[in-house]
Amino acid sequence: MNITIIPATDLIGGECVRLTQGDYASRRTYFRDPLEAALRFEEAGIRRLHMVDLDGAKASEPRNLKVLERVATRTSLEVQYGGGIKSRAALGSVFDAGARRAICGSVAVRQPDAFAEWLAEFGPERLILGADLRDGKVAIQGWLEESALTGAELIGDFAARGLTQAICTDISRDGMLCGPSVALYTALQRQFPAVEITVSGGISSMDDLRELDRQGLRSVIVGKALYEGRITLKEIEQCLQNA
């Protein structure tokens, strides 16, 4: 497979957790120390890690930067970090803590000019647009609010300003282990060939990853399926060795 597999580490209170459909009440802790999970991913040959600061998403400012710094300094993983990045200062703090890429969602909807300025300042290789979708509309503020924009509208706006990376999460499938919305991601990737559309939400098996790869998707985030053993690190390691 050519698709890049990116494990997800969602953070609450410094711990690695998973939610179901973005519901904070559904929280389940998998690792008290996220570095332990990161080291396992690195050992399996993983190169990128998706880190979401759920505390930060609620607080509107990053809250788990010490976890980011530990993972960034003690592994070779390229960390992409999101959650609560609403200001230039917050963005700078995320990069200072060791993130290779920063994910911005709410600010891109509420302050599109600010996000466009950051895109120009830091470059499209370091900024990722987060497009989280519920019933076709972009959800913001830790998925607690819904905007009037569709995913295609949001991505299209910034693709015209140099965007090359976007993570699209289908909230209805996130943490449900029911399979991804392949048609949604395929359509977006075809509509925006210059933007790498990262699949997020619903991954349940290696077959899902193979199908996304067949459809030409370039990267995918795997969360609950990995922590629940539906997809194993050994399987991922074998895929990476055969790539």
The enclosing domain of 200 has a CATH number of 3.20.20.70
pLDDT of residue 221: 97
Look at 24 and 45; give whichever has higher pLDDT: 45
Q: What range does the domain containing 168 cover? A: 4-242
> What are the angstrom distances between the C-alpha of 144 and each of 21, 40, 88, 132, 141?
11, 32, 23, 11, 5
Domain count, the chain: 1
pTM (2 decimals)? 0.95
Question: 10 catalytic, yes or no?
Answer: yes
| DSSP track, 160-184 | TTT--EEEEEETTTTTT-S---HHH
β-bridge mates for residue 174, sequence order: none
**Closest listed residue to residue 150, CA positions, set 131, 137, 133, 135:** 137
Select which of 53, 132, 170, 174 is catalytic. 132
| Sign of the alpha-carbon torsion through 34, 103, 208, 21 | positive
Select which of 10, 174, 208, 213 is catalytic. 10
Task: Tell me the C-alpha distance between 129 and 138, whole Å.
Answer: 12
Q: Which two tokens stand for residue 187?
A: 């359509």
Does residue 243 surpass a pLDDT of 80? Answer: no
Q: Summarize pLDDT for 69-115 with one digit per residue, the tens.
A: 999 999 999 999 999 999 999 999 999 999 999 999 989 999 999 99
Q: Average pLDDT of the chain? A: 94
Look at 192 and 143; give whichever has higher pLDDT: 192
Counting residues of the chain whose pLDDT is more than 70, the rounded percentage is 98
pLDDT band at 142, cuts 50/70/90? Answer: low
Does residue 143 surpass a pLDDT of 70? Answer: no
Task: Tell me the C-alpha distance between 119 and 85, whole Å.
Answer: 14
Question: 132 catalytic, yes or no?
Answer: yes
**Closest listed residue to residue 52, CA positions, set 174, 142, 165, 171:** 142
